[in-house]
Amino acid sequence: RSLLENYVPLNIFQLEDRLKQCTLFKQRHVTNVWPRVFIGDEETATDRDMLQEMCITHILNAAAYYRGLHINYYSLPTMDRHCSDISKCFMPAAKFIDKALDKRASKVLICCKQGVDHSATLFLAYLMICHDMMVEDAIDHVIKSRRIRPSRDFLKKLMLLNADLVNKRKLKLEDIKAGRERKKWQLKKSSVQILKNLHI
């Protein structure tokens, strides 16, 4: 609890330094970054054989290249323009991934042209929204297995998301604490009343 109450967010430069801490030298076309979740590039998304071999059931941010593979595609058109507001995609993307993973057999591929910018940003947002991770913790998790390079603009959007989520968690924590205090007061009041009744 104290960690949340005393939490101080990192600035943009600290986040960029965090990304540079990735020690991986060789980048693969596709990487397993979470149970049944993969980040990949455009080549992966268009490789019919690889998709079948990986048993991919859902693809985020890709055109429906192979409709015959029984894959659920969720394309985000605004992601094709670098200047677009990616934050508008955070919640829809997170819901798509989360819903897909409800089924044990599902495997999700999140992809963009190089698999380091748009796709990585969406996955970071998913970790923050659905798994209560701070932005720096989400970054630390991903760079253990894949080198990513979200643009500065995308990092700023993630920082705003982080601030919003942290504030909501703090408010929730305050509500819980207030509820406990009310419960204590009610129990104390009940105890006093019981004692009064005993002395009647």
Question: What are phi and psi for residue 128, nearest 5 degrees?
Answer: -70, -40
Whether residue 57 contacts residue 36, with contact meaning beta carbons closer than 8 Å, is answered with no
Of 22, 89, 111, 112, catalytic: 112
Residue with tokens 């968690």: 169
CA 150 to chain centre: 14
Whether 111 is a known active-site residue: answer no
If phi > 0 it is left, if psi is from -120 to 50 it is alpha, else beta; for residue 38 that is beta
The β-bridge relationship of strands 72-74 and 58-60 is parallel
Catalytic residues: 112
